[in-house]
């Protein structure tokens, strides 16, 4: 693997940096570096700026309006934007349902749905999990009954990230309760404004509202909104999950996390020394830094296989496992670094601009909420236990 950048790639990285300097609002950038929560407008404004530039759908082939970048450009794009403090692109449209639509959808569906995803005019959420169907996704029970040219949908989805911000939801629904579990499932696109759709917030341990329950009560959905054939939704579901796991390692964000950990450790000197001068803590930072670099190399290996025409295989599960463990470790170390200042819960510092004086240094209030929030990384996108099952079976052949 040749990791040196040629002059064109260097010029490309400069172009991305200049774009972020021009289009990323200082307020959004400040939220990233101070660990504050974004609101919907922060994401939409940034994603629409990328969309206008033709860069939001950066992993899509040119044929469907993507920029047609090589793997190195994609890698540089993600890394430069993370360094610049850009919010992560919400994946449900551009990284999840978009590729499903251009791979399995009809020409009419591509024409109807892809432009709004590419420009971020339309926001999406993912309706896979249900109260009785998480790891065992094929057990899902949300029922769609065909009546003429519509389905009538009844059931419940749960843990639906950003459903309260979304215009549309893509759902796995059961169209045939008598078929084998995986064979009776279809993939439906549902307008969130349809009568009978209700969103109920789930507030997480850190006080943030990102996830929701979504209820369907006799929701009328045109058959024209089904992607692929009836009963073949599981094929779309698996294709989407492989893409989801590939992007979930969040290496650029972890690199930024290590830099910010170093900054925290260098702050607050006492008697002329900081935490960064403590050999034991410095060794912990060096250790996590090396783990991030090793993960980055593994991710690059997977990407270069894909660049040669390969598809993401079961080995992407290892990236998901290590990526989530690393994100959790960085959050743990940040909490350790701020020490007792992690104790007070200061929601005003996280959710809105406040003129309250924080207890402790400015970087302290997000540490504990982030630590708790990061528990999610080993659960979502398929829990780490499930990923280990996949690795043992499909990679190690056990």
> So which residues are the catalytic ones?
244
Which whole-number Å values give the CA distances from 195 to 169, 187, 386, in the listed order?
14, 20, 36
Look at residues 201, 151, 148, 200 and name the one whose alpha carbon lies nearest to residue 171: 151
Closest CB to ligand FAD among 66 and 233?
A: 233
Distances (CA, A) of 144 to 97, 130, 172, 230: 19, 15, 10, 11
Q: Which is nearer to ligand FAD, 104 or 128 (CB)?
A: 128
By the rule CB under 6 A, 376 interacts with ligand FAD: yes
Tell me the site size for ligand FAD, rule CB under 6 A.
19
Instruction: Closer to ligand FAD by CB, 113 or 128: give it.
Output: 128
* Residue 28 is a binding residue for ligand FAD (CB under 6 A): no
Does position 343 interact with ligand FAD (CB under 6 A)? The reply is: no
What is the H or E stretch that residue 265 is in? helix 251-266
Q: Does 37 bind ligand FAD (CB under 6 A)?
A: no
129 contributes a contact to ligand FAD by CB under 6 A: yes
Interaction of residue 305 with ligand FAD, rule CB under 6 A: no
Q: Which residue's beta carbon is nearest to the bound ligand FAD? A: 134
Q: Does 247 bind ligand FAD (CB under 6 A)?
A: no
Task: Report residue 195 as tokens.
Answer: 């009568």
Is 386 among the residues that bind ligand FAD (CB under 6 A)? yes
87 binding ligand FAD? (CB under 6 A): no
Q: Which of 367, 364, 105, 141 is nearest to 239 (CA)?
A: 105
387 binds ligand FAD per the rule CB under 6 A: no
CA distances from residue 53 to 49, 57, 71 in whole angstroms, order as listed: 6, 10, 19
Asked if 328 is part of the footprint of ligand FAD (rule: CB under 6 A), the reply reads no
Task: Select the span of 49-57, 69-77, 124-132, 221-229 touching ligand FAD (CB under 6 A).
Answer: 124-132
Q: What is the nearest approach in angstroms of ligand FAD to the Cβ of residue 365?
A: 21
Q: Calculate the alpha carbon distances from 129 to 125, 137, 157, 159, 169 in Å.
A: 12, 7, 6, 7, 12
Token match 């690199």: residue? 255
What is the smallest separation between the CB atom of 203 and ligand FAD, expressed in angstroms? 12
Tell me how far, at minimum, the Cβ of 297 lies from ligand FAD, in Å: 27
Give the DSSP per-residue string, 41-60. Answer: HHHHHHHHHHHHHT-TTTTS
User: What are the angstrom distances between the C-alpha of 244 and each of 81, 197, 398?
Assistant: 19, 25, 25
According to CB under 6 A, which residues from 139 to 178 bind ligand FAD? Answer: 159-161
Retrieve residue 113's tokens. 């749905």
Q: Binding to ligand FAD by residue 109, rule CB under 6 A?
A: no
Nearest to ligand FAD of 211, 303 (CB atom) = 211
Distance of alpha carbon 326 from alpha carbon 209, whole angstroms: 24
Name the E strands within the chain.
124-127, 143-147, 150-157, 168-174, 185-191, 197-203, 209-222, 226-227
Under the criterion CB under 6 A, does residue 134 sit at the interface with ligand FAD? Answer: yes
Q: Which one among 76, 114, 211, 275 touches ligand FAD, defined by CB under 6 A? A: 211
Residues that bind ligand FAD (CB under 6 A): 125-129, 134-135, 159-161, 211, 376, 379-380, 382-383, 385-386, 389
């Amino acid at each position: 693997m040749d990791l040196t950048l040629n002059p064109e790639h260097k010029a490309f990285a400069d172009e991305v940096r200049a774009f972020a300097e021009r289009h990323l609002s200082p307020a959004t950038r400040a939220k990233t570096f101070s660990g504050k929560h974004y609101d919907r407008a922060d994401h939409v404004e940034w994603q629409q700026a990328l969309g206008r530039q033709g860069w939001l759908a950066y992993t899509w082939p040119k044929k469907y309006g993507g920029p047609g970048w090589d793997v190195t450009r994609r890698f540089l794009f993600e890394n430069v934007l993370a360094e610049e403090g850009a919010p992560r692109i919400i994946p449900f449209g551009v990284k999840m349902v978009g590729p499903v639509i251009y791979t399995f959808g009809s020409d009419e569906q591509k024409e109807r749905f892809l432009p709004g995803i590419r420009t971020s005019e339309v926001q999406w959420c993912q309706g896979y999990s249900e109260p009785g169907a998480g790891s065992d996704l094929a057990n899902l029970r949300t029922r769609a009954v065909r009546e003429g040219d519509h389905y009538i949908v009844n059931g419940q989805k749960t843990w639906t990230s950003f459903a309260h911000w979304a215009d549309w939801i893509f759902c796995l629904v059961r169209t045939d309760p008598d078929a084998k579990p995986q064979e009776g499932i279809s993939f439906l696109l549902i307008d969130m404004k349809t009568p009978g759709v209700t969103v109920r917030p789930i507030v997480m341990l850190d006080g943030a509202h990102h996830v929701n329950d979504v209820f369907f009560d006799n929701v009328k959905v045109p058959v024209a909104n089904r992607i692929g054939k009836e009963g073949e939704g599981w094929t779309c579901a698996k294709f989407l999950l492989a893409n989801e796991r590939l992007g979930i390692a969040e290496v650029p964000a972890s690199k930024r996390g290590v830099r910010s950990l170093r900054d925290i450790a260098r702050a607050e000197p006492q008697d002329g020394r900081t935490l960064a001068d403590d050999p034991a803590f410095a060794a912990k930072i060096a250790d996590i830094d090396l783990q991030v670099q090793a993960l980055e190399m593994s991710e690059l290996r997977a990407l270069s296989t894909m660049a040669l025409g390969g598809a993401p295989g079961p080995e992407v599960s290892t990236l998901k496992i290590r990526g989530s463990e690393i994100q959790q470790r960085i959050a743990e170390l940040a909490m350790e670094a701020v020490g007792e200042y992690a104790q007070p819960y200061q929601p005003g510092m996280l959710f809105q601009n406040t003129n309250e004086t924080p207890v402790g240094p400015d970087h302290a209030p997000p540490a504990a909420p982030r630590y708790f929030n990061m528990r999610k990384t080993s659960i979502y996108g398929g829990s780490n236990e499930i990923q280990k099952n996949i690795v043992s079976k499909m990679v190690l052949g056990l």
